[in-house]
Amino acid sequence: MALRNLKPWIDCAQREGFAVGAFNANTLEQIQAIVQAAQAEDAPAIIQVSHNALLYAGSGNATLGLQYMAAAGKIAALSVEVPIALHLDHATESEVVQAIALGFTSVMFDGDGLTFEENVTITRRLREIAHMNGVCMEAEIGEVPKPGEEAFDAAAIELTDPDAAAEFAAATGIDTLAVALGSVHGMKDKSVRLDLERLQTIRARVSIPLVLHGSSGVTDDDITRGIALGLCKVNVATQLNKAFTRAARAILDADQNLVDPRKYLGPARAAQIDAARERIRFIGAAGKAGAVRG
């Protein structure tokens, strides 16, 4: 089916106590793996594209990358019978506008580095554009750093302030709010514990669905507890990349003379399907395709 606006799914997840998975994709094989996993689990799923994925797809040109990913996402959604959304993650103002014009059905503006007032002003303007085009709008309050790209002190991470979150959500009219609870992008082991008390306070003050970034490094127990406390969209990237890369490496290590990329990218795709299916089941989205269709 055609790409869908994910807002009704997230609202359903909030009512019923599960989460929708947003799975990062950098390659065609990863896009295919996401929708095939969703089909196998009869679940809604979000193909999620980061700024760096745009640069990769466009050989350094983010605008070209947006065009590639928009086209691939539309075809992938049409290849399955479950609801699929295409989400642009951590994007600039210009990228958000371009993505909406190209048919992305969900966008996130990253106002990191702006003042609170500037973030509100730009986010509100982009939300108006998104809503005029039937697109879901996400934004973030707080900090979810990424190791390797920036130095950070875990104790000094700027977690989401509940009062600021409530003020930001009310002032911008966004559909979903990404909150910083201690998670970190790009972590390869599951060792982070979330500030669940903070999440509970935010949930009490913010009525819109909440989003967890950096879930690959968060303990499964805390993800489960976080969903019970109101996390409705869970982003997964590194955990899938690990499965994809591990499978490709095993094939290449076993045959040093292998030169056909289909021989290792195919198994890598299959491994990511399995990993995405496990996450879909884990967050409670399996079997929910019918529910989110309304």
Q: Catalytic residue numbers?
A: 89
- State how far the Cα of 127 lies from the Cα of 233, in Å rounded to an integer: 18
- Residue tagged 């507890």 (tokens): 225
CB proximity list for 157: less than 8 A, separation 6 or greater: 143, 144, 145, 180, 182, 184
CB 123, CB 93: distance < 8 Å:
no
Three-state SS string over 219-244 comes to CHHHHHHHHHCCEEEEEECHHHHHHH
Exposed / middle / buried, residue 214 (Cβ in 10 Å: 0-12, 13-18, 19+): buried
E strands, the chain, are 20-24, 45-49, 84-91, 106-109, 136-141, 176-179, 210-212, 231-236
- Bridge partners (DSSP) of residue 284 are none
- State how far the Cα of 64 lies from the Cα of 48, in Å rounded to an integer: 17
